[in-house]
A and B are shown apart, each in its own frame.
Chain A
Amino acid sequence: MALGHRVRRGLIPGERRDLQALSPEQARTVTALAEVIVPETDTPGATAAGVVDFVDVILAEWAEDDERTRFLAGIGDVDERARTLEGATFEECSPEGQISLVAGLDEEVDALRREGADAPEHFFHDVKRYTLAGFFTSEVGMRSLGYRVVPGGFEACVLLDEYGAGTGR
């Protein structure tokens, strides 16, 4: 399976595992969504950070049943929108099409937020939350922030520029 290979390709060695909650099709959609939210730049992106595996663990072992159901239904909905837009799954859409779809979802969440409604009830809020956590708490994500397990000292007031993006935190 070429697509399956593509999903697997970016995983961190040692973190490979069988998916528990996501079907291969759903995993491809989640992987593509996460990469649009946190793309590869001069640092690795969501795919390289193995975000889909974190999402799968969270859905399988951590999320409540209704949270998982809402999330998976939402992933199906993303592919429906993609078919309407470009006649393909989200993962197969053009980069422009993917960005347009994610912009629409992000705006739906923000509209709810502006109305004072419970934004987390929208599945894309969870997609973004899981993606950000999956990326920024991964080893590559934390290294990109300059994280060190043992900073070794505390400097209370230093110029941010002298430390670049990483502050040892």
Chain B
Amino acid sequence: MSGPRRRRPSRTAPHVRRQEVYDAIVVGSGMTGGWAAKELTEAGMRTLVLEAGPMVIPDRDYVEHVAPYRMPYRGWNDRKALEAEQPVQRECYACDEMGRKFFVNDIENPYSTGDGKPFKWIRGRQVGGKSIMWARQSYRLSDVDFEANAREGVGVDWPIRYADIEPWYDYVSSFAGISGRREGLAQLPDGPFLPPMDLTCIEEVFRQGIERHYGDTRLLTIGRSAVLTRDHNGRRACHYCGPCHRGCITRSYFSSLNATLPAAEATGLMTLRPDSVVHSVIWDSSKGRVTGVRVIDAGTHEPLEFYGRIVFLGASALESARLLLHSTSPDFPDGLANSSGVLGKYLMDHTMGVGAMATFPGWEAYTFTGQRPNGIYIPRFRNVTEPSSDFLRGYGYQGWSARPGWSRGVDEPGFGVAFKDRLSGQGPWSMEIEGFGECLPRETNFIELDPDLTDAWGIPALKIHCEWSDNERHMMEDAADQAAEMLEAAGGRDVRRKMALVDPGLTIHEMGTARMGRDSKTSVLNGFNQSWDVPNLFVIDGAAMPSSACQNPSLTYMALTARACAYAVEASKRGEL
């Protein structure tokens, strides 16, 4: 997987590809596609991985070590290019001067939204997908989450419980390498962690303040991050350079490019085809199975077909659902695998942008060195250890401490020698926390194909209808209040609430559009991410989620994917697929 020379051109030559039937086709090479590629090939299956975007070669394409003074705009971004080509993507912090090449061109990849319902769809189309730019926070769901829908009569019940997924959390965590601290919390189960990163002075002050004030109902812990704190599985420990979202030449954080795709490549059974925009899934009515996918070559626009015995969709929650909606037939006029009619519905994201910040005087003599690619986490307490009558579910906080640098001088008076000296030093310690809140599944948050809009390859674009409800808004009011209260309680000064709830989508935890469930009439997938309607079709990305919980979801997607692949391999051996 390290370069074009290791690809197998004979397998992708047109006359061959039209005959070959792969054991499996995986659509997407990101977080879940990479896991499927690894699990399936390691089980002996010849697997074709189709990626809509271009090849990424770490030695050539990673840019994390480009110093600001080597950038044309010194990190201020190519503003005109972002306005012209990436007016949506630029809202993501990681779509910066060097990192923007890992985000899609919004003109080539348009979508529309319902009136008055802005949705920010952040996408990465390249080998590695968004696993290149993800924020690496890795948390487990618990039975607090898996039981919530059934308990409250919201959405549909999860078809699995924590016991079903726990061994798979362990499995993917052991391979990926998750650093963190064991805390023994029921609502946020521990895992086989690598050593935790340290808290800064102020984070430790904050941690102790929370412990003092709230006893055992709330706690602060270091973020659980898919970044290696020691060498692990042939990958090197982090060197703390900072901008992980631009790649990592030492492969110290988990991504499909850094970890799962090389493992799949090592089996010799993976064929990876970049620049392959999947158009639709091929349904064979007589067999009652899917037989492959139709592809449009991204560069030549040539229509192609690829065949496989099992098809796994891991193109991202919205792309996988879009692909199914676009795969219509007399048997499935409303989209493949959509006899339930819920395909595309129950779209969720996490709320973000609300919290509080404070300064912590008295620690000016202390600082930290290096760029820790991780923050702190305050696990959910609402409706777990402390009830709320204002809303269902809860939120966890992510946060970070900082000592501001020179840029604070832009909005301060002064110039000359003293000003320069002052800005060359560090500003006062600040601490900020932001609530990531659970979003309830609602039928009114949904996607459909826009009849009037297509992408650069002629495929119908999505029209996205999504908005927060009062439950999320009330929850975020509380998140701001509690954030301010905790900072005060720990000795913070100049405490300011931050109420900047982002538009849905921008948290980039979109999910739920092909949910799993216990009943084929109300869900698209069963508890193994397998289509109820089409036995040899699996959807392995965030589309499968029947509820969002409030934890960053990638680790759950990884675990569900590995579990689904093991199930598919066994079912395939039994001849059931």
- Interface residues, chain A, with chain B CB atoms under 8 Å away: 36-39, 41, 43, 45, 54, 57-58, 61-62, 99, 102-103, 106-107, 109-110, 113, 119, 125, 128-129, 132-134, 136-139, 141-142, 144-145, 147, 149-161, 163, 165, 167-169
Contact = CB atoms under 8 A, between A and B. Distances in A.
Contacts of B364: 160
Interface in B198-218: 198-201, 203-204
Nearest to A133: B74
B370 interface: yes
A61 B80 contact: yes
Interface residues of B, number: 50
B410 A149 contact: no
Interface stretch (B261-269, B278-286, B412-420, B519-527): B412-420
A103 B238 CA distance: 46
B416 A39 contact: yes
B241 A132 contact: no
B79, B199, B369, B423: most-surrounded residue (chain A CB, <10 A): B369
B372 interface: yes
A136 B405 contact: yes
A156 B73 CA distance: 30
Contacts of A152: 239-240, 370
A32 B446 CA distance: 58
Contacts, number: 152
B73 A151 contact: no
A62 B406 CA distance: 21
Contacts of B238: 154
A152 B410 CA distance: 30
B80 A62 contact: yes
Contact of A156 (B67, B372, B407): B372
B238, B365, B367, B425: most-surrounded residue (chain A CB, <10 A): B367
B409 interface: yes
A156 B417 contact: no
B417 A167 contact: no
B75 interface: yes
Interface of B: 65, 67-69, 72-76, 78-80, 197-201, 203-204, 238-241, 364-372, 405-407, 409-411, 413-417, 419-421, 423-426
Contacts of A128: 409-410, 415
B239 A139 contact: no
Given A54-B74, A152-B240, A138 B69 contact: yes
Given A154-B198, A159-B365, A149 B76 contact: no
Contacts of B239: 150-153
11 contacts: A43-B424, A132-B410, A136-B406, A138-B74, A151-B239, A154-B372, A156-B199, A156-B203, A156-B372, A161-B365, A163-B367
Contacts of A154: 197-198, 238, 240, 368-372
Nearest to B408: A132
Contacts of A137: 68-69, 74-75
Contacts of A38: 415, 419-420
B370 A157 contact: no
B73 A159 contact: no
B424 A144 contact: yes
Given A62-B76, A157-B204, A169-B405, A163 B369 contact: yes
A132 B405 CA distance: 11
Contacts of A102: 415-416
B365, B368, B415: most-surrounded residue (chain A CB, <10 A): B415
A147 B245 CA distance: 20
Given A41-B420, A62-B80, A107-B413, A160 B371 contact: no
Contacts of B414: 106
Contacts of A37: 415-416, 419
Contact of B367 (A119, A129, A149, A160): A160
A48 to B, nearest CB: 13
Given A137-B74, A142-B67, A151-B371, A119 B366 contact: no
A21 to B, nearest CB: 14
A91 to B, nearest CB: 16
A153 B417 contact: no
Contacts of A155: 198, 368-370
B368 A99 contact: no
Contact of A167 (B365, B369, B416): B369
Contact of A39 (B74, B405, B417): B417
Contacts of A110: 413
A142 B406 CA distance: 11
A161 B425 CA distance: 11
Nearest to A62: B79
A131 B118 CA distance: 37
A113 B80 CA distance: 28
A36 B416 contact: yes
A80 B536 CA distance: 77
Given A58-B76, A136-B406, A99 B416 contact: yes
